[in-house]
Amino acid sequence: MTPELPTEIWLTIINYLSPANVKRLGLVNRTFLEKARQLQYQRLLIDKYDEKTKLRLKEISSSSLDHYVHTLTLCVHAWPASEQALTRWDGQIGDSFSVAAQIRSLFDSNYSQRKKLSQQKKRLDSRIQLVLEAATAFKRVRECELRWMEFLDCPPEFSSEVDFASETMSTFLSLLAIFPLRNTLTKLSLQIPTHIALNGLALVNLPLLEDLKVVLLKCQYAWTLDSDNAARYLGSENLANFISGLSNTLKILSISRLDPSIDLHRDFGRLFHLLCETDFPRLLSFDFSTQSPCLRRGTLSLNIFVRKICRSIRNLQLSHLAYQTSSSPSLHNRPDHPSWISDIISQQSRMHAFSSLTSLRIRDGHLSNNLADLSSLLASVAHQLVSFFLEYNLLTLREVEIVVQALSRPSSPLQYLGIEPRDLSPDVFDLLASALPQLKSLSLTCERISSSMRPDPLTEEDVRQNFPNLFFDLVST
């Protein structure tokens, strides 16, 4: 017998079903059909540019389902997964020529190259037409994502495909300037390899954009790329001009650097220097993350930019992931090598200027060596901070005490906390329960679980009693 549940609960349950079950549930009644169509069509992914995709888009549009599409994702694959996959791209037959074409190439040494360029132009024109038709048909799209996709290994014979994919990505970025949806987009996500030139991006105007995410990737097929291409991308100042043009509407800005060849001081120094010349009156959230084989010092212009926006932002996320390579050993165990995040924390701890900050997330393996500045910063915002996460830092019990004391206030609004005690013991829970009993969510990552001098071991039930509103998440490494 079907339980009698409110419609709102049924609609929430549907969100957790597989696409196949959602489609079946849509046959029950009109309410479920409406919800099933929302889930099925709200996100439109285009990762192939062939006749099958064209027919699918035409079917959605002709069936009056286009108004459900709110998110459009365009994927550019750097190279196919296999030789067989290459023959299916865009309905083309890869680089194969007819017998007549091969005979002509015997008498014309340049024929093969011209033929290849002609095929690539047709493929690119076909992709452009498909994207423009989709953007024209789905007029309610508010979010757009452009992804650069790579498979694990790229055979050398696919080098021409990497070049073609690069041209496709550059063209798609330039299309944003004439995109039919440019006057309605509120969210844009760009995953861009750093060898791609952004000449057309500086001309793009998105008058309603509120949320921008930029991820800078390193193409695996690096041996085909010019060593100066990484600097070209940020040195051209196109990204800075693009972001500055969104300053009046932008509420959320996220920039991720996943290519170690992009220099924090040289390339991002120029980027943030230009952004410092622009006001961002509506910016509420800023997220900047880097990834490299070693911890690096930052750039003065980044510190100045954070200082410029610190009074208005409510959410701040700063991340640095240092990984180890054979040529660049990890510096996580060197206390004398602070990162750019330490620079920002040191500066902001003296200014006490985060007057609106309610959420702070820091990922940096060396902040435990700079707890004095961090605790000063936390103490200055403890009366307003709702969420705080400190990750990649294994803290001693004394260091946990320093952090908790900085956050503790008689009427602290803090509800969400994530820290990483090296030793998880009952003393940690006693400290948190006495200082922050109002917590609703607690995330703990530890290296080991240890006991204390308490006569009775601490149980999970004890934790629940000390934190009656708590959602508890424990991870042991």
In angstroms, the CA 173 to CA 151 distance is 22
Reduce the secondary structure of the chain to three states and give it as a string.
Answer: CCCCCCHHHHHHHHCCCCHHHHHHHCCCCHHHHHHHHHHHHCEEEECCCCHHHHHHHHHHHHCCCHHHCCEEEEEEECCCCCHHHHCCHHHCCCCCCCHHHHHHHHHCCCHHHHHHHHHHHHHHHHHHHHHHHHHHHCCCCCEEEEEEECCCCCCHHHHHHHHHHHHHHHHHHHHCCCCCCCCCCCEEEEEEECCCCCCCHHHCCCCCCCEEEEEEECCCCHHHCCCCHHHHHHHCCHHHHHHHCCCCCCCEEEEEECCCCCCCCCHHHHHHHHHCCCCCCCCCEEEEEEEECCCCCCCHHHHHHHHHHCCCCCEEEEEEEECCCCCCCCCCCCCCCCCHHHHHHHHHHHHCCCCCCCEEEEECCCHHHHHHHHHHHHHHHCCCCCEEEEECCCECHHHHHHHHHHHCCCCCCCCEEEECECEECHHHHHHHHHHCCCCCEEEEEECEECCCCCCCCCCHHHHHHHCCCCEEEEEEC
pLDDT on residue 103: 52
Q: Which of 119-123, 225-229, 245-249 has the lowest mean pLDDT?
A: 225-229
Neighbours of 325 (CB within 10 A): 11
- Across 62-71, 236-245, 326-335, 411-420, the highest mean pLDDT is recorded for 411-420
Length of the chain: 477
**Tokens at residue 434, please?**
């006495």
Average pLDDT over residues 307-319: 95
User: Is the pLDDT reported for residue 119 higher than 80?
Assistant: no
Burial class (CB in 10 A: 0-12, 13-18, 19+), 206: buried
Amino acid letter for position 3: P
Residue 449 or residue 323, greater confidence: 449
User: Is the pLDDT reported for residue 26 higher than 50?
Assistant: yes
User: Is the pLDDT reported for residue 122 higher than 70?
Assistant: yes
Q: How many Cα atoms within 13 Å fall on the side-chain side of residue 43?
A: 6
Amino acid letter for position 5: L
pLDDT on residue 45: 92
User: Is the pLDDT reported for residue 397 higher than 50?
Assistant: yes
Which residues on adjacent β-strands are paired with residue 285?
Answer: 252, 315
Query: Tens digits of per-residue pLDDT, 134-171?
Result: 888 888 899 999 999 887 666 666 777 888 888 889 88
Contact predicate 43/73, CB 8 Å: yes
End-to-end CA distance of the chain: 45
Mean pLDDT of the chain: 80
User: Is the pLDDT reported for residue 172 higher than 70?
Assistant: yes
pLDDT on residue 288: 95
Phi, psi of 216 (to 5 degrees): -100, 115
**Tokens at residue 89, please?**
């791209």
Which of 441, 428, 427 shows the shortest CA–CA distance to 472? 441
Q: Which residues have CB under 8 Å from 149's CB, separation 6+?
A: 47, 75, 76, 77, 78
Query: Tens digits of per-residue pLDDT, 354-375?
Result: 999 999 999 987 777 778 889 9
Query: Tens digits of per-residue pLDDT, 236-284?
Result: 588 899 999 999 999 999 999 887 777 777 778 888 999 999 999 999 9
pLDDT class of 340 with cuts at 50, 70, 90:
confident
Residue 170 sits at the vertex; the CA angle it makes with 71 and 197, to the nearest 5 degrees, is: 125
CA distances from 379 to 197, 317, 357, 391 (A): 44, 18, 12, 19
pLDDT class of 107 with cuts at 50, 70, 90:
low
pLDDT class of 327 with cuts at 50, 70, 90:
very low
Residue 142 or residue 21, greater confidence: 142
Q: Which residues have CB under 8 Å from 223's CB, separation 6+?
A: none
Residue with tokens 């600097």: 231
pLDDT class of 332 with cuts at 50, 70, 90:
very low
Where in the chain are the domains? 1-41, 42-185, 410-477
Region of 396 (left: φ > 0; alpha: ψ -120 to 50; beta: rest) is beta
CA distances from 334 to 327, 329, 345, 372, 375 (A): 17, 11, 18, 18, 21
pLDDT on residue 90: 53
Which residues on adjacent β-strands are paired with residue 322?
Answer: 292
Residue with tokens 């120094």: 269
Contact predicate 88/177, CB 8 Å: no
